[in-house]
Amino acid sequence: MSCAQVKKGVLLLVGKIKEVRMVLVALALMGVGLLSSLLGYKLFKILLPMVGLVAGAMVGFTGFQGIFGKGAVSTTVAIFVALTVGLLMAILSFVYFEIAVIVLTALIGASILSYLGVALGLDKDGFVVFLLALSGFIIGLMVASSGAMGAGFVMAITSMAGVLFILAGVFLIAGSVTAEQLNNDGIIRTMLSVIDQSFLWLFVWLAGTMITYNAQLRTAVAEYMGDTYAYVPAKTSK
What CA–CA distance (Å, rounded) separates 175 from 171? 6
pLDDT classification of 52: cutoffs 50, 70, 90: low
pLDDT classification of 47: cutoffs 50, 70, 90: confident
Distance of CA 69 to the CA centre of its chain: 31
pLDDT classification of 140: cutoffs 50, 70, 90: confident
- Report for 40-49, 116-125, 135-144, 159-168: range of highest mean pLDDT: 159-168
- pLDDT tens digits, residue range 211-226? 999 998 888 888 767 6
Distance of CA 158 to the CA centre of its chain: 8
Find the helix packing angle between 151-174 and 3-68, rounded to 10°: 160
Q: Which residue has the higher pLDDT, 101 or 66?
A: 101
- pLDDT tens digits, residue range 58-91? 666 666 666 666 665 566 777 777 777 777 777 7
Query: What's the pTM?
Result: 0.61
